[in-house]
Structure 1
Amino acid sequence: MGKELATIAFAPEDRVNYRHKVRSCMDALAQMLDADAFDEREGMTGLEIELNLVEDDGRPAMRNAEVLGHLADPAFQTELGLFNLELNEPPRPVGELGAYRRDILDRLRKASERAAKADTGLVMIGMLPTLTADDLVLANLSANERYRLLNDEMAGARGEQFHLDIRGEERLRSSSDSIVPEAACTSVQFHLQVAPGRFAPYWNAAQAIAGPQVAVGANSPWFHGRRLWAETRIAVFDQATDVRPDELKAQGVRPRVWFGESWITSVFDLFEENVRYFPPLLPIMDDEDPLKVLNAGGIPHLGELRLHNGTVYRWNRPVYDVMEGRPHLRVENRVLPSGPTVADLMANAAFYLGLTRQLADEERPIWSQLPFADAADNFHRGARDGFDAVMRWPRIGEIAVTDLVRSVLLPKAHQGLDRFGVDPADRDALLGIIDERCRTGQNGATWQTATVRNAERRGLSRQAALHEMLRLYRLHQDTDEPVHTWPVA
């Protein structure tokens, strides 16, 4: 925002002033919503793909700045850890999903060739299984002052070490004095532009399906050498960024990584919750007076509102943005891990986009039948148990997630993609991948688990088995054959 972050030292009044500025942004947002000032178009989607950088032996490569220099592509940016990159694909209509897949694949292949000049490989995976605790330290935070400032503010707010205690198939307990363990969590984020009057139905629909979505797409079973959840990334991200000491947890203070606690009626509900529950982490202000800009007939950028929103890590996040002079709203879906292949990513996108469209359009909405607490419980069941998860669903009760997806959700996703105008051949190919995953019981998490177990049975140590699994994973990823077709060595 035009300031040198390295020189910033926040005074107490900065947070007070920032809070007032955020409320001014809220007033401007409310006026814009009342005045129908937003772009009403729907059906534009974009995505962000987080990547891991690795050495030839599969160890993390701590050189994202060097790799970016070789890539020379503004679509790639740094992420939290030195071993991370992020690809930001430009938006396009949902109806072009088939072409989107081809373009992403082409961009990643070119990027891999250029990254090789820095003796570095690119891997799409929810959590890099070869990471160790020694890799996730402050020295390996990306050279970006925004990340350093965020780390300092979050560590200061917590006032003690961040603790991980994850109980899954095995158990992990560890501590860190920084937020760098969050860098182990690499995701894909789907953005969907929606009209303001339709934001609540789309967000509610995304929340309702988060459990099945993460169960089917799980790809993060290993962390620090232990088999934890099917999608361990959810638990690590939750705990590695929790700024609440035990006393604040006991008082019911909300975590900044948050599923939420109720269905909404407007996008304004979410921004209002942000202001009500979460103190500012980065009280950085720009020179814009949002109400003055609005009253003069302009479109405010609402910089403080957007910055504050970016430090509340909802699994489905509201996004306000201005493109070509027009404001619009997006739902940012943050549920899924990166990988295993571009084919799998686009299948996940088709399932999510089609299903949310159909549920948002239905006369009797799913959120009028599904208690919010059940949606949240389904989400955590899906992350923990993956394909073994049992979900609660209206008019059905408890049902195995694979049966729920195949008998109830996939038909709805087909209808939703038709409404978006997706080519039937692309629709069937992408949703067919989801169906085959459920039929075979193989997604990224189950393949990784089975491959490591088989390697251990052949006499390899756990660490050697993880390295061997990652070697095979990278070979299969390069083929872009979906993960349900991968043989288990």
Structure 2
Amino acid sequence: MGQEITTDHFTEQDIQVFLQRLQRETSELETWFADRVFSTRSPVAGYEMEAWLIDQNADPSPSNDAFLKTANSSLYTAELAQFNIELNADPASIQSNFLSEFEKDFQQNWNYCKKVADDIGCRVLSTGILQTLQNKHLSMANVSNLLRYKALNEQVLLQRQGRALELKINGRQSLKSTHHNVMLEAAATSLQIHLQAPQELAHHYYNASILISAPMIAISANSPFMFAKDLWDETRIPVFEQAVDVGGYNGAAQGPIHRVSFGTDYARHSLMECFTENVQHFPVLLPMCFTEDTSLMQHVSLHNGTIWRWNRPLIGYDTDGTPHLRIEHRVIPAGPSVVDNIANMAFYFGLVQFYAMHETPPNEQLHFSQARDNFYTSAQHGLDNKVSWPGCDRCDMRHLILHQLIDNAQAGLESLKLDADDIEYYLNIIQSRAEHKQTGSHWQREFVKLHGNDMQRLLETYYHNQQTGEPVHGWDFEIYR
């Protein structure tokens, strides 16, 4: 969905031409896998983080046009809503003091965003779901000025035959609301981690990402509230899954195939299986036709970009033009602080390396249906969840993280030859978060328990704490006025 398009209206002929080119490129992609043409450069990492622009009253500020013009940098892009932006990082090799360098780069990036926001009279905030968001903010009046988002809205409603989107979440409280456009998607903001891997290992990293999604979402949870209702530990998950509720062919949105989902299975032999599934099970959502040059994979990429697996395989290109394979790990919310974001990345890189390179492949350690159930129950219950795990039938999530997964992540990071001090520093943040049982979601709930369900007061105090740069496990509950 990062590709811009040149129209928001499509004909049946557009769909047929797009399908022909998509099928041609998919066949070419099969040849690439068979001939092993992908980059062997590994491991390489990157990230995207979606953030909020808020005004002085802590409400969403539809100002991303002004922000992007003032920032004047290719590292920042628009998101669906005018009150969201996306920060990007240049890819970096995972080696030596990569983590601390990533933090330094992230912090410089974030400081610049704060300055730009201040220059245009608003503020920038990192959180999973904006605490002060209201239904009235999710209107097409606030959609970003890019054709792809208007086209997405039109095509989703077309495939739904005009039926409204119904949001239904049962958590600590219940929420039901009706939406007549896709702007609900803008409510959920994420930290998306990218990991490039060589072809022969890429499906193992993909499967390992699936396996570890449950502990990743439990330890990083930062989205308990939506429209002032206390729902899941990570409410982004059901919000996003229902925001673009269209599925596969023949009405499969009501069946097992959904455009936003945990996926349907591990990749058994290669990531090509995901791209084959894309063509076989999902109708074209944005039939924008590009060049007929199959080597650019533009139609494959656009189609793949409208299928939002929580772990998504991507085709990209090295600087010399060699195609490469990446995993996009999409489960983590935008974090309470920069250092929390880096600690989440460190935990992911360590765990995914450990399980991808384990002598028993990830897909043989835990059945896919168990990994999927772990993910959704962990999104709902966070560190209080109990999961199935290799060698353990009903593991307490917090105990699992503290007594096994942190050690596994350390072993994974050590095998990548990262700096020992960096490994200790960032994994200690994960450990402290688990020991104190204070994720971003836990902190928000405790604040409300102490001070009442005032979302503006919650957000202002959250924002104040974020400015300190301290990790969330050390935040107190004093009201910031």
TM, length-normalised to structure 1: 0.94
- Structure 1 residues 433 and 4: CA distance shift in structure 2, 3 A: closer
Determine whether 1:468 maps to 2:457.
yes
**More moved, 133-142 vs 360-369:** 360-369
Q: 1:424 to 1:287 in 2, by over 3 A?
A: same
Amino acid at match of 2:317: V
What is aligned with 2:410? 414
Q: Does 1:207 align with 2:210?
A: yes
Distance 1:76 1:21 in 2: 30
Whether the 8 Å CA contact 1:128–1:184 is kept in 2: the answer is yes
Report the alpha carbon displacement of residue 253 of structure 1 after superposing the two structures with TM: 5.2
Does 2:112 match 1:124? no
Give the C-alpha shift of residue 114 in structure 1: 2.0
2:146 pairs with 1:157: no
8 Å Cα contact 1:158-1:244 kept in structure 2: no
Whether the 8 Å contact between 2:247 and 2:253 is mirrored in structure 1 is no
Task: Tell me the CA shift for residue 7 of structure 1.
Answer: 4.3
Could you list the per-position Cα deviations for residues 350-402 of structure 1 after superposition, in whole angstroms to 9, with x for gaps in the alignment?
A: 00011101111111123202111000000001100111111111211101111
**Aligned mate of 2:201, from 180, 198, 218:** 198
- Who is 1:453 aligned against? 449
Determine if contact 2:39/2:318 at 8 Å carries over to the other structure: no
Secondary structure of the structure 1 residue equivalent to 2:130? coil
Contact preservation (8 Å) 1:217, 1:443: yes
**Structure 2 residue matching 1:379: 3-state secondary structure:** helix
Q: RMSD of the TM alignment (CA)?
A: 1.7
What code does the residue aligned with 2:403 have?
S
Q: Deviations over 1:301-338 (max 9, x none)?
A: 11000000000000010110123211111000000000
How far 1:244 moved relative to its partner? 5.3
Aligned equivalents of 1:389, 1:422: Cα separation in 2? 31
Matching residue of 1:322 = 317
Counterparts in 2 of 1:65 and 1:27: CA distance versus 1, 3 Å: same
- Counterparts in 2 of 1:285 and 1:470: CA distance versus 1, 3 Å: same
Tell me which of 434, 437, 452 is aligned to 1:438.
Answer: 434
1:47-91 per-residue CA deviation (whole Å, 9 max, x = no partner) reads 001100001221111111011222222211110001000001111
The structure-2 alpha-carbon separation of the partners of 1:267 and 1:475, relative to structure 1 and needing over 3 Å to count, comes to same
The unaligned stretches of length 5 or more in structure 2 are none
CA displacement, residues 180-211 of structure 1 (integer Å, 9 cap, x when unaligned):
01101000000000001111100000000101
Secondary structure at 2:451 match in 1: helix
SS in 2 for 1:452: helix
Q: Which residue of 1 aligns with 2:143?
A: 141
Corresponding residue of 2:80: 80
Distance verdict in 2 for CA 1:4–1:111, change over 3 Å: closer
Tell me what 1:18 maps to: 18
Match for residue 271 of structure 2? 267
Which of the numbers 385, 389, 392 marks the counterpart of 1:393?
389
Shift of 1:225: 0.9
Q: What secondary structure is seen at the aligned counterpart in 2 of 1:90?
A: coil
Q: Which amino acid aligns with 1:11?
A: T
Matched, 1:98 2:94: no
Distance in structure 2 (CA, Å) of the matches to 1:318 and 1:99:
26
Percent of paired sites with the same residue: 35
Instruction: Tell me if structure 1 keeps the 8 A contact 2:82–2:143.
Output: yes
Contact 2:8 2:148 in 1 (8 A): no
Equivalent position SS for 2:283: coil
CA distance in 2, matches of 1:354, 1:327: 25
**C-alpha displacement at 1:14, in angstroms?**
2.3
Match in the other structure for 1:289: 293
Which residue type is aligned with residue 70 of structure 2?
Answer: H
CA distance in 2: counterparts of 1:145 and 1:338, whole angstroms? 25
Number of residue pairs the alignment of both structures matches: 471
| Secondary structure in structure 2 of the residue aligned to 1:335 | strand
3-state DSSP class of the match of 1:334? strand
Separation in structure 2 between the aligned mates of residue 7 and residue 59 of structure 1, nearest angstrom: 31
Q: What residue identity is the alignment partner of 1:148? A: K
Superposed CA offset, 1:233-264 (max 9, x none): 0010001110259x935862511001112111
Which amino acid in the other structure matches residue 259 of structure 1?
F
Question: Residues 22-421 of structure 1 correspond to what in structure 2 (within 5 A)?
Answer: 22-95=22-95, 96-159=98-161, 160-243=163-246, 248=251, 252=255, 254-264=257-267, 265-290=269-294, 300-324=295-319, 325-421=321-417
Q: Give a deviation string over 1:406-447, Cα, whole Å, max 9, x none.
A: 112111110111122211111111011111111110000000
Letter in 2 for 1:149: A
Distance in 1, Cα, partners of 2:128 & 2:277:
29
User: What is the CA–CA distance in structure 1 between the aligned matches of 2:326 and 2:312, rounded to whole Å?
Assistant: 8
CA distance in structure 2 between the partners assigned to 1:377 and 1:4 by the alignment: 35
Preserved contact between residue 350 and residue 430 of structure 1 (Cα < 8 Å): yes
The secondary structure found in structure 2 opposite 1:392 is strand
Q: Taking structure 1 as reference, are residues 217 and 120 closer, same or farther at Cα in structure 2, changes over 3 Å only?
A: same
Distance 1:6 1:42 in 2: 35
C-alpha spacing 1:150/1:8, structure 2 compared with 1 (3 Å): closer
Q: Residues of 2 paired with 1:308 and 1:229: CA distance?
A: 30
Query: Which amino acid is 1:310 matched to?
Result: G
Counterparts in 2 of 1:115 and 1:251: CA distance versus 1, 3 Å: closer
SS in 1 for 2:394: strand
What runs of 5+ residues in structure 1 fail to find an aligned partner?
A: 291-299, 457-461
Q: Which residue type is aligned with residue 128 of structure 1?
A: L
Rounded Cα–Cα distance in structure 2 between residues aligned with 1:65 and 1:4: 15
